[in-house]
Amino acid sequence: MIRPSAVQLALLLIGEPAGWFPVFSLPSVSGMTDTNIRPVLWLVLIVSVAANSVLSSRGSLLAGMVFGVIALASAVMLVVDHYRRRRSS
């Protein structure tokens, strides 16, 4: 019996990458907002990565995981903001 690889299973569950990757379906942001949230996102990213490192090294894994998720979310928002700005110009 041939077992499928993890990548093949993931593609079966979520479909082809081009169909779900957010870069291809980002709406235009021109005229939506003029606020610049990038400095705040960078600050949140730096603080949450530092807190994740400190808490994970001290053994507080749950709190470290929370800050890790916050860091991941802020990094994703920075990437989305980058692609939106690149598309609108």
Does the reported pTM lie above 0.85? no
Report residue 23's pLDDT band, with 50, 70 and 90 as the boundaries: very low
**pLDDT score at 37:** 87
Nearest-angstrom CA–CA distance, 41 and 73: 9
Reduce the secondary structure of the chain to three states and give it as a string.
Answer: CCCCCHHHHHHHHHCCHHHHCHHHHCCCCCCCCCCCCHHHHHHHHHHHHHHHHHHHHCCCHHHHHHHHHHHHHHHHHHHHHHHHHHHHC
Residue 64, helix vs strand vs coil:
helix
**pLDDT score at 83:** 87
Amino acid at 3: R
Residue-wise pLDDT for 26-56, tens only, equals 555 555 555 688 999 999 999 999 999 999 9
Query: What is the average pLDDT score of the chain?
Result: 77
